[in-house]
Amino acid sequence: MISEVLHNFEETYRALTVSTERLRVVNIRQLLGQVIMDFGGDCVQKGLAVRQRFEGLSSEMAYLDAELLPECPTGTPCRFA
């Protein structure tokens, strides 16, 4: 219980430190799926196995700083919502 409260506080604090223009709500499954699509071939070539596990997530949505997200081909931050 205490760890969950601390985790929720940390998420809230991080979200509050980013301006609303830069804050994006991102679906974690879609974000990881995109990363695996982008880098999956490299992982296979190097003999790395990638396994997605989402059990225990309190939510599949996360608040992220848009400046930390990868750019789409259009030059804008990609949306994973």
Each residue's pLDDT tens digit, 39-79: 777 877 888 777 777 777 777 887 777 777 666 655 555 55
What is the rounded CA–CA span in Å between residue 19 and residue 65? 8
Local structure of 66: helix, strand or coil: helix
What pLDDT does 57 receive?
Answer: 74
- Residue 69, judged by CB atoms within 10 A of its CB (0-12, 13-18, 19+), counts as middle
**Average pLDDT value for residue range 15-26:** 72
Q: What is the pTM of this model?
A: 0.50
Say which residues have a Cβ less than 8 Å from residue 24's Cβ, sequence separation at least 6.
63, 64, 65, 66, 69, 77, 79, 81
